[in-house]
Amino acid sequence: MDVTWYVVLSAVLFAIGAGGVLIRRSPLVILLCLELMLNAGNLALVAFSRAHGNEEGQVFALIVMVVAACEVVVGLGLIVAMFRRRLPLNVDEMRGLRG
């Protein structure tokens, strides 16, 4: 299998994730779609690491996983805080900072 196949697959997954962020309004599902995009980037990193024959891309992918875990923890904390304050769980109604 050429490495191109993997990179094209990662482009498909990234486009699906980006479309999900634009379509859905629940913050929980938007976080899930962010995970999709980060994983598409991970797949591309690992594929490039295979194409070049060294492991630095895999280390990069592991660090991306750590950053994704941090983002999930803070995002879910925000969602729980919104739920406890009886705020609407809808990103279109959370626009108090809009100018």
Examine residue 87 and tell whether it contacts another protein (CB under 8 A): no
Give CA separation, 47 vs 15, 23, 62, 71, in Å.
Answer: 18, 29, 14, 24
Among positions 53, 86, 87, 97, the unique one binding another protein when judged by CB under 8 A:
53
Instruction: State the nearest-atom distance from the C-beta of 68 to another protein, in Å.
Output: 8
Examine residue 11 and tell whether it contacts another protein (CB under 8 A): yes
Give the separation between CA 76 and CA 72, rounded to whole angstroms. Answer: 6
Buried b (16+ CB within 10 A) or exposed e, 8-17: eebeebbeeb
| Contact set with another protein (CB under 8 A) | 1-9, 11-20, 22-26, 28-29, 31-33, 35-36, 39, 42-43, 46-47, 49-53, 55-56, 58-59, 61-63, 65-74, 76-81, 83-84, 89-90, 92
